[in-house]
Amino acid sequence: MVSYKRLNPENVHFSGALLSEDRFSFFFFFKVPQPDNTSLLPRRLSCSITKAVLILGSLLLLLFGGWLLHTIYWLRSTSGPAHRPPPPVPGQAPGSVLQADINNTVTNARTKACSVIPEAWRFDCYPERGVVVNRELCEARNCCFIPASTFARRKSRKNGIPWCFYPPDFPSYSVVSVNDTSMGLKGTLVKDVKTYYPGDILTLEMEIRHETDTRLRVRITDPSSSRFEVPISVPTAVKKAENPQYVVELSKQPFGLIVKRRSTGTVLLNTTVAPLLYADQFLQFSTALPTQFIYGLGEHRSTFLHSVQWNTLTMWARDVPPMEQTNLYGVHPFYLDMESGGDAHGFFLLNSNAMDVVLQPGPAITWRTIGGILDFYVFLGPDPSSVIEQYVDVVGHPAMPIYWALGYHLCRWGYDSSNATWEVVKNMRNYGIPQDVQWNDIDYMDQAKDFTYNPTSFNTLPDLVRDLHAHNQTYVMILDPAISSSQPEGSYWPFDEGLKRGVFIKDAEGKTLIGKVWPGPTAFPDFSDEVTHEWWYENLQRFHQKVPFNGLWIDMNEPSNFMDGSTESCPSNSLENPPYTPGVLGGLLRSKTICASAQQKLSTHYNLHSLYGLMEAKATSSALKRILAKRPFVISRSTFPSQGLYSGHWLGDNRSQWKDLYTSIAGMLTFNLLGIPLVGADICGFSEETQEELCVRWTQLGAFYPFARNHNSLDLEPQDPTAFSPLARTAMKQALLLRYSFFPFLYTLFHHAHLKGHTVARPLMFEFPKDIKTYSIDRQFLWGRSLLVTPVLDPGVDYVNGYFPEGLWYDYYTGDSVSSKGEELHLSAPLDKINLHLRQGSVIPTQEPNLTLWVSSGQPLHLVSALSDDGSASGDLFWDDGETLDTYETDRYTYVVFNVSQNVMTSNVLHSDVEGSYITIDSASFYGVKEKPSKVLVNSQEVQFVYRDNQVLSAANLGLSLIQNFTISWS
């Protein structure tokens, strides 16, 4: 007996087996005979002696040749979610020894056929949680039942190997017709017997679209009935790819899809390893993976490299502090897989329904969702950066952030008043610590109501915001989507007007659904309705006239609810209690959110739940553009693919623990893969009391989050930099000034993210895909291709070990060089230092830092070149006014490329505008100049220079215009 509670997300473990590229190594499905009728029981054999002897002879012959290739089982359809073991076969004579022998032979052959399937390739036939699965229950589904081996159980305290799994002959679909189309092909899939979930769809339509040379799209739909499809905009290809990098093969009986990389033959997708299931509320397919190196699949707290040891990742937006092995705030059904040899590919399932994604050590992956259609993409790369570019080409490129978004943000839940908030801002100024943005949590609201501020404790809030603006700083406030519904009629415009316009989500009976959040009873805006977007804009506009905020923090938008469902409970139906419920925290779709059966403009909440944060972000971004006429700044907790178009993300309500410091790197890298580069964790931790050493180290790491915000919780000691000892405060100040000095480099990285879909914070494997040692590194990361960040992530140490891929690396601070063969190095890391190294061949622009980016961004540039062995390097700079919408699209920008070769640096101004004319290049440093030069020339004019023993050449007081080509040479 085994309880499938073992398969809960909190009970998964890790492994690393690799897959042979032979797609038939372990599974080969055989044609299922067509029955006269459908039955869950094996068909009863005839009592004829002659027939029995013939059957027995045939079975013995097959057993003698190896193992039984085919067993005769008939299935019957089920009409409900209950699964009962089959009853005894009627009519069997008690003394029929021959009949018993035949049945035993069939059973033994069946057992042998099941037993040859390796444990790593057993696909779960009974994934329901909270069910004790025995042999009778398993075989009622016509599946194999074999308890995991004793050895496997000993390997892991909580083993996830399924005891009930699909046999090779489990009924699946067959391809009955295939027709070429202008984009690829269409086919009809038919299944003649039903499986064990209700609403089995027996005829499907498959469309394979060769959209680009590196992008393949597959859609499997129900031709007889319209089903929910995710309402995000994706590109519509109109011409079939001419030279695709993929080869598509079809297994017709049973149906299976095999996708190979044309150049290497590597099998990227192979769905023949398990049957396709397609029922009304249960869609499932599995595919082999070429290796176990799989990334993405957000949002989950884990290592950057996912485990494939029976690791179930549940996706359904949920308000819960980040913890391992549970569904969190966002849903991103996309993965990147590294192949042997350094190639990479990606896979994206465009589906928003609750789902489980199961990784197993074959390696293989199973997608199990409870609605919508199967609509997926395969991206061919071939390098990992190209995979992400191809993915964001589908879901949308991230927006270019407003310049101050890249500064230091300060917030807490627990500023008692606007004056208390103001005091923190003044202290930061007095200590000369950079700060661009001050935030407020829900403290500022009047009785926690949106679009209000407390007239007593926050009466000076408008004055605070005006003061921030006078000091070139900005203000961001929190907004929760839930709107108070219990105020006296006529006293709270947001609810009264929303009720009048019908903007709130309705329950199954058509009444406004009421839940409970911070202000008490609340209604939830339906952001799938454009009417709601207009109402949301008007609320923001009215409040902006009172408090001129600059950006918005949208929280609690999973949506979060302090009760399950609503104040009126939820109906008992298949939406609330589907035949299969993925492993969501709480066990119910409505756990700490609204009813799955709730009605929205586009569909039921059952389909739209995980899109709620995306739709709110879209409405908020649009409203800010209209109000401010600048690039909108929005940070959202809940996210979905294409979110980067509208907002950034913070990693949620973390804890002030060293482990959370470490896991924030994996979260940051994962969201850069997902097309949301503006991401970071709460610096110093949100909940629990932080420690001074932890906060220093976290500020150093946080200085290299793309989005850097310090935020802590109610009733905790302050943790802004001014709250600590002089030594700690100085170390934090240095880290933040360092961030501000890198602003031109960081801003340029975001330009490339916006334009090309590049990552900003980047895993080492992206730049070194042939170095397998980089595949699991998540204690270090890169900014772009050039800057290696090696933070301290452990207490009580003054050193850190970091891996340096093969090549030359330069200490950013000193220019000292390190030549690595691909090895781990021991680095000094006193409390006031974070280790930074420049990669050979890089040119990065920096600036003199100041207290705000408005001031810093006007300072002259300093160019730092890290030369390769042959003396070459390159880099670039994108520059505009930092806030105007669509500057690249409307040609209001400057773009300059820098190159170093044979002792000469050149700049090439590819585009310029007036903003670039305000910037000068005042100095330059060259790391790795092997011999001291006799002279340095700038535009053929000799200038003074400094050359140090560590082969660093520097020149200052250059006075070069950014928008005019120049040369710097030495000899």
Among 299, 441, 450, 558, the one annotated catalytic: 558
H or E stretch covering 419: helix 418-430
At CA 714, angle to CA 708 and CA 716, rounded to 5? 85
611: DSSP letter: G
Non-local CB neighbours of 201 within 8 Å, separated by 6+ positions: 222, 224, 225, 278, 279, 280
**Cβ 404 vs Cβ 651: under 8 Å:** no
Alpha carbons 863 and 968: distance in angstroms, whole number: 11
**Cβ 601 vs Cβ 529: under 8 Å:** yes
Q: How many CB atoms lie within 10 A of CB 373?
A: 21
Work out the burial of residue 416: count CB atoms within 10 Å of its CB; fewer than 13 is exposed, 13-18 middle, 19 or more buried: exposed
Give the dihedral sign, CA 92/97/101/104. Answer: positive
Q: How confident is the model at residue 765 (pLDDT cuts 50, 70, 90)?
A: very high
Among 169, 480, 555, 778, the one annotated catalytic: 555
Token pair 């470490």 is found at: 662
Quick one: angle between helices 418-430 and 461-470, nearest 10? 20
In the three-class reduction of DSSP (H, G, I as helix; E, B as strand; rest coil), residue 53 is classed as: helix
Per-residue pLDDT, 20: 33
Alpha carbons 683 and 680: distance in angstroms, whole number: 8
Which tens digit of pLDDT belongs to each residue from 788-830?
Answer: 999 999 999 999 999 999 999 999 999 999 999 999 999 999 9
pLDDT greater than 90 at residue 107: no
Per-residue pLDDT, 66: 42
Which tens digit of pLDDT belongs to each residue from 34-88?
Answer: 333 332 223 333 333 333 434 444 444 444 344 333 333 322 332 233 222 223 3
Q: What is the dihedral of CA 505, 585, 148, 173, to 10 degrees?
A: 10
Q: Over pLDDT 90: what percentage of the chain?
A: 87
Residue 927, phi then psi, degrees to nearest 5: -90, 130
**Cβ 15 vs Cβ 293: under 8 Å:** no
Per the structure block, which two tokens stand in for 667? Answer: 């979260």
Domains and their CATH numbers in the chain: 120-170 (4.10.110.10), 174-395 (2.60.40.1760), 480-546+553-611 (3.20.20.80), 780-970 (2.60.40.1180)
Strands in 151-290 per DSSP E: 164-165, 174-180, 184-190, 203-212, 215-221, 246-252, 255-261, 267-270, 277-279, 282-288
Quick one: angle between helices 726-741 and 743-756, nearest 10? 50
599: DSSP letter: B
**Cβ 454 vs Cβ 869: under 8 Å:** no
Known active-site residue 36: no
Q: How confident is the model at residue 431 (pLDDT cuts 50, 70, 90)?
A: very high
Average pLDDT, the chain: 90
Known active-site residue 568: no
Per-residue pLDDT, 101: 56
Q: 3-state DSSP helix/strand/coil percent for the chain, to nearest 5?
A: 25, 25, 50
Average pLDDT over residues 460-489: 98
H or E stretch covering 908: strand 904-911
Average pLDDT over residues 840-859: 97
Per-residue pLDDT, 815: 98
Per-residue pLDDT, 34: 31
Which tens digit of pLDDT belongs to each residue from 549-598?
Answer: 999 999 999 999 999 999 999 999 999 999 999 999 999 999 999 999 99
Which tens digit of pLDDT belongs to each residue from 378-420?
Answer: 999 999 999 999 999 999 999 999 999 999 999 999 999 999 9
Q: How many CB atoms lie within 10 A of CB 803?
A: 19
pLDDT greater than 80 at residue 749: yes
**Cβ 642 vs Cβ 396: under 8 Å:** yes
Per-residue pLDDT, 160: 87
451: DSSP letter: T
**Of 449, 404, 399, nearest to 621 (Cα)?**
399
**Cβ 861 vs Cβ 833: under 8 Å:** no
Quick one: angle between helices 692-702 and 726-741, nearest 10? 10
Per-residue pLDDT, 64: 39
Non-local CB neighbours of 681 within 8 Å, separated by 6+ positions: 650, 651, 654, 660, 664, 667, 668, 702, 705
Q: In the beta sheet, which residues pair with residue 523?
A: 483, 514
H or E stretch covering 789: strand 787-790
For 649-690, what is the HEC assignment? EECCCCECCHHHHHHHHHHHHHHHHCCCCCEECEECCCECCC
Non-local CB neighbours of 823 within 8 Å, separated by 6+ positions: 803, 804
471: DSSP letter: T
Which tens digit of pLDDT belongs to each residue from 646-683?
Answer: 999 999 999 999 999 999 999 999 999 999 999 999 99
**Cβ 946 vs Cβ 929: under 8 Å:** no
Residue 342, phi then psi, degrees to nearest 5: 100, -5
Per-residue pLDDT, 108: 76
Looking from the CA of 620 toward its CB, the CA atoms found within 13 Å total 29
Residue type at 480 in one-letter notation: D
Q: In the beta sheet, which residues pair with residue 283?
A: 278, 369
Q: How many CB atoms lie within 10 A of CB 48?
A: 10
Per the structure block, which two tokens stand in for 508? Answer: 């199954």
pLDDT greater than 90 at residue 93: no
How distant, in Å, are the alpha carbons of 41, 74, 225, 498 from that of 109? Answer: 17, 17, 41, 66
Per-residue pLDDT, 156: 40
**Cβ 784 vs Cβ 881: under 8 Å:** no
pLDDT greater than 70 at residue 9: no
Per-residue pLDDT, 112: 85
At CA 654, angle to CA 653 and CA 658, rounded to 5? 170
Q: How confident is the model at residue 111 (pLDDT cuts 50, 70, 90)?
A: confident
Q: How confident is the model at residue 150 (pLDDT cuts 50, 70, 90)?
A: low
Alpha carbons 252 and 259: distance in angstroms, whole number: 14
Per-residue pLDDT, 71: 35
Residue type at 5 in one-letter notation: K
Average pLDDT over residues 719-746: 98
Quick one: angle between helices 49-65 and 97-115, nearest 10? 30
